[in-house]
Each structure stands twice: as structure tokens, then as C-alpha cells.
Homo-oligomer: A and B are copies of this chain.
Amino acid sequence: MSTVAIVGATGAVGEEFLRVLEERRFPVSRLIPLASAKSVGKSVAFRGESVPVKDLARFDFRGVDVAFFSAGADRSREHAPRAAAAGALVVDNSSAYRLDPDVPLVVPEVNLDAAKSHKGIVSNPNCSTILLVLVLAPIQRHVAIRRVIVSTYQAVSGSGARGLAELSRQIDEDKAGAPPTLEVYPDPIASNVIPFVQAFGDAGLTTEEWKMIKETRRILDLPTLPVTATCVRVPVRRAHSEAVNVELARAATPDEVRGWLRTAPGVRVTDDPARLEFPTPRDAEGKDDVLVGRIRRDPSRETAIDLFLSGDQLRKGAALNAVQIAEALAVSAPAGASRT
């Protein structure tokens, strides 16, 4: 049994952590929700009980077995090292350590072995990247991937509870004929799509686009894989979707690709044009698996495949993946055993 801390317990991902830990009967002996001082006084519900939130800044991590961090990169950089130093296994959902060569970046179905070399911190990848590599890895096992071109359809839950509130408020404003008020996004998100996620980075790409490129390469262990991404926010509440063009070293039929994906863990093939069956974010909501469909030969290149995927951004894109990492490390190594 474990003492489990959740940093950012009052956010959208934090709430999903509580749900996933309950559903999967993670062996929690004591749950400690942590957040910034302004959340002290709040409580979270876990296994039918109300658990008061504690102040992260003043919390001593000694005695904590697993600490899930989901409170932004700054807070992870400040507090994750001291949590790890105090003996906790930190699974960090922020971008703080994702490209740090000393911190493994892990999707358990894809590169669990990498996790075993951790030094106290394991990084949980970007949500869009997790969904993408779950589908790319089973293909790469059969035929080498030469290039990936992805366009995303990202839900507002990626911006946390504030993103959900922004969409909901703007839908009401639209209905009332009032101009949309902007708090989270630079443009309205209701009845709109925004080809901009998070911030602009190098070379005209957004930081989200760079994450998808660099983290995909790292998780697949293909450091020079050509990848390009256009990341777009859409007025969907919870699950992300991606249109993906995958160029392969040799031509593969859609049936071959479907076969590889059908046996892949964490993936559900949802692909029957005759029955109008394809992935949608509403269908992916609340599901553990990433849904993949619209698998077809790219008519512009014989060796390329087009496909479409949807996955729950808060679940496999965040909380579930992190909990799976903790489960795998707890099972494969007693607490502390693999740390140096």
C-alpha cells in the first residue's frame, strides 16, 4: 500500500487522477491532495471521503511513495526534485523534464523499459504526443516510419478547468448575442478553431508543435524522425483528435495496418466505413484506449497511410498514463530499489 500525493489536485487533470486511482484500485493507503496556498480550505472527494487540500509549498514529502505532479512546469521545477529527494517516485505531467536526458519520458505501452532507469522522476508526455505514439509504435514495429505529418483537433480540457469554463461561457454569450469575453485564449473558441496552442516558439512553430515533434522522436527512440505538426484548438470539451499522414519505408495495405493496430495495447480500431464507424472525440471520452480509424492508403504517395485518431486528453493523455507508469514501476521494482 502506498502514500500518494497529487500536486494540482483541484485542477481538471487532478480530478481525473482521483477518478483513475479509484477505478484502477491503485493501492492507496493515504491520499494527500496538494495545491497552492489559495486552494487550502478546499477538499477533494476520494473513495467517498472528503480529503482536505494541503499547501504544496509547505509540504514535506518524506513518507510519500508516489507523487503525481500536474500543476505546471514552474511548480514541477520547484518541487519535484525535493519530492524525489525525499524518496517519492515523482510522475510529472508537466513539460519541465520531458526533454531532460536524465528523466525518462514514458508511455508504458511503447517504452516502459526506459522508465526503469529513472532517478526519482519520470516524465509523462504531452497529451497529443501520447495519443500519437500509441498508434505509431505498433506500425513502427512492423515497418519503419519515414515521416509523420499531423494536424490536431485539441479539446479545451487541455487548458484545464479554465478552458472548459471559457468554452461554456462563450457558448452562452453567443446564444445571448453578446460578444465573447476572452480570458484563456487569444480568440473566441466557441464556434471557432484556433491554430495556436500555448505559445509561439522557434521557426514559427508553437511550443505545442515542438513538443509533438521532439517528444515523439524521443519516445519512439527515433531521434531524427522527420515530423511536422499543426496544433489547433477546437470547441470540444474533453478528447483530442489527430489527422495523421504516416510515410513508411515500404507500402503497407490498410488491412495490414489495421491488423497491427488491433493487437496493440491501449489502441482500439474503430474503422468501418460501411457502418459509418470512425473515431470521434465524444466516443473517446472516458475511454482508456485511443480510437483509430479512417485508415487508408494516401492517394498522393504509395508508401504513405492516412489515419484519424481520438483519445481522452485528461485520461490516457494525462492521468491514466501517469498512473500506469506508477503501477508498472511499483510492480517491477519495490519502492526505491531502482533509484540511484
* Shortest CB distance A5–B (Å): 32
Q: Which of A188, A192, A241, A281 has the most CB of B within 10 A?
A: A192
A293 to B301, CA, bound (A): 26
Of residues 269 through 326 on chain A, the ones whose CB sits less than 8 Å from some CB of chain B are 273-274, 276, 278-283, 293-301, 304, 306, 308
A21 to B175, CA, bound (A): 29
Q: Which of A194, A283, A304 has the most CB of B within 10 A?
A: A194
> Is A41 close to B, CB under 8 A?
no
Quick check: B148 and A300 within 8 Å, CB to CB?
Answer: yes
Find A254's partner among B204, B213, B226 (CB 8 Å cutoff): B204
Find A203's partner among B200, B241, B297, B304 (CB 8 Å cutoff): B297
Quick check: A205 and B241 within 8 Å, CB to CB?
Answer: no
Whose C-beta in chain B lies nearest to the C-beta of A247?
B300
> Is A219 close to B, CB under 8 A?
no
> Is A147 close to B, CB under 8 A?
yes
State how many residues of chain A have any CB contact under 8 Å with chain B: 56
A205 to B295, CA, bound (A): 9
* Shortest CB distance A227–B (Å): 5
A295 to B205, CA, bound (A): 9
A280 to B274, CA, bound (A): 33
- Copies of the chain in the assembly: 2
A187 to B277, CA, bound (A): 10
> Is A137 close to B, CB under 8 A?
no
Find A280's partner among B187, B228, B237, B279 (CB 8 Å cutoff): B187
A188: which B residues are within 8 A, CB to CB? 282
Find A193's partner among B204, B276, B280 (CB 8 Å cutoff): B280
A138 to B236, CA, bound (A): 34
Quick check: A281 and B192 within 8 Å, CB to CB?
Answer: yes
A205 to B278, CA, bound (A): 12
> Is A234 close to B, CB under 8 A?
yes
Quick check: A243 and B228 within 8 Å, CB to CB?
Answer: no
Find A151's partner among B151, B187, B238, B278 (CB 8 Å cutoff): B151
Quick check: A273 and B308 within 8 Å, CB to CB?
Answer: no
Quick check: A306 and B228 within 8 Å, CB to CB?
Answer: yes
When A204-B297, A230-B306, A230-B308 are in contact, do A241 and B193 touch as well, CB less than 8 Å?
A: yes
Quick check: A205 and B299 within 8 Å, CB to CB?
Answer: yes
> Is A149 close to B, CB under 8 A?
yes
A147 to B298, CA, bound (A): 11
When A149-B149, A276-B186 are in contact, do A300 and B228 touch as well, CB less than 8 Å?
A: yes
> Is A260 close to B, CB under 8 A?
no
Quick check: A230 and B243 within 8 Å, CB to CB?
Answer: yes
> Is A232 close to B, CB under 8 A?
yes
Given known contacts A151-B151, A235-B235, what 9 new A-B pairs fall within 8 Å (CB)?
Answer: A149-B300, A171-B171, A192-B280, A193-B234, A204-B297, A213-B299, A227-B299, A230-B308, A234-B234
Top 5 nearest A-B pairs by Cβ distance? A204-B296, A226-B300, A151-B151, A151-B243, A230-B243
